Structure 1
Amino acid sequence: MLVYYDAATGAPTYSISLPADQALPGAFIEVENVPADLSAFRVESGALVEHDISAAVAAALRSADRIVEDFRLAYITEIAGQGTVYRWKYDEAVAYLAADPAPLPEDLPTLYPHLAEETGITAQTPYQLAQLWANLHQITWHLSPKTEGARALAKDRIGAAQTLQDVADALDGLRTDLAELVP
């Protein structure tokens, strides 16, 4: 049995039952027993050897976190402490929208300092700005459990990977799952 492989990487590409003297063009080795899943092997020094995927798994686990981080950064600002600021803005927005009667403009700096500072910049009125912050919070809150679920599933799949292809498929699946979260 002949196993053809990529000469640059050692990754097997296919196997074929031919005598060596009738071999097709390309890099190959002759083996007696070909494993069912060649993706778990590499050709090294003329021999088919099992390929250790532990380094690939470790790298993929880190990649899964970076993929989710990049996805989140499309919706949030990456500045130290920004998560706390977003929470304060959301709290102010909810309090402002719930206030009855509506707060007077002169009370904004004391009761709603973030609203006071951004009104006229991000939105024209305190009400519009409060609505914007409340809506953004709901959007990101809705995405958070889904992104965490996708990340956890990908990491579980990576941890259970038996081959390099399994590792690659898990990362591709994560990218697909995240892409499907937004229209």
Structure 2
Amino acid sequence: MKSSASVLLCLLLCGCDEPAPESFAGLGQQVSGFSQVTRDHPLVFPRDHGAHDGFRIEWWYVTANLKDSQGRDWGAQWTLFRSALRPGAETRDWNSPNLWMGHAALTGPGGHRSGETLARGGVGQAGVVAEPFRAWINDWSLQGHEGIAGLQMKAAGEGFRYDLSLRSDRPLVLHGSQGYSEKSGKGQASYYY
């Protein structure tokens, strides 16, 4: 497949807390020990492509619009979520506070297929490193070349499999105010680029 128009979107959502009925996923609520999203935290790359142990939840995703050699349209999606059970750094054992979930999908002429996979942190099943960029969960991966200008994206589920080479010649786009993306007037926010 060739990428006729691929879109790379990486979302880093940090500082989520226990959901309250009036808020989106509890963003902006205080939870003891976890870092909070603030306006005065500039994003620095390549460091911020990686995982951030102080925050409760974050994720990385790619969506791509593709066209194959027969001219058929396809859509591919790859997402990795990290959720911390408690504050603290990733450890290299089963005491790691991190749980990981991957979601992948492929849409094309034959319909929509998707898959999910779960893993525990600290034992090599899943993780994200900033440089060279690599995000993985089990045998799914998102591997960067030249930073993240080029990505190798691999995933599989029931009835689908892809191994795509994606490239962007555009700079990163920082959403909101220099990457601080306010979700509501109640202080819910994320870092988003």
Greater strand share, 1 or 2? 2
Question: TM-score, normalization: structure 1?
Answer: 0.17
Greater helix share, 1 or 2? 1
Looking at CA atoms only, which structure, 1 or 2, has the larger radius of gyration?
1
Question: TM-score, normalization: structure 2?
Answer: 0.17
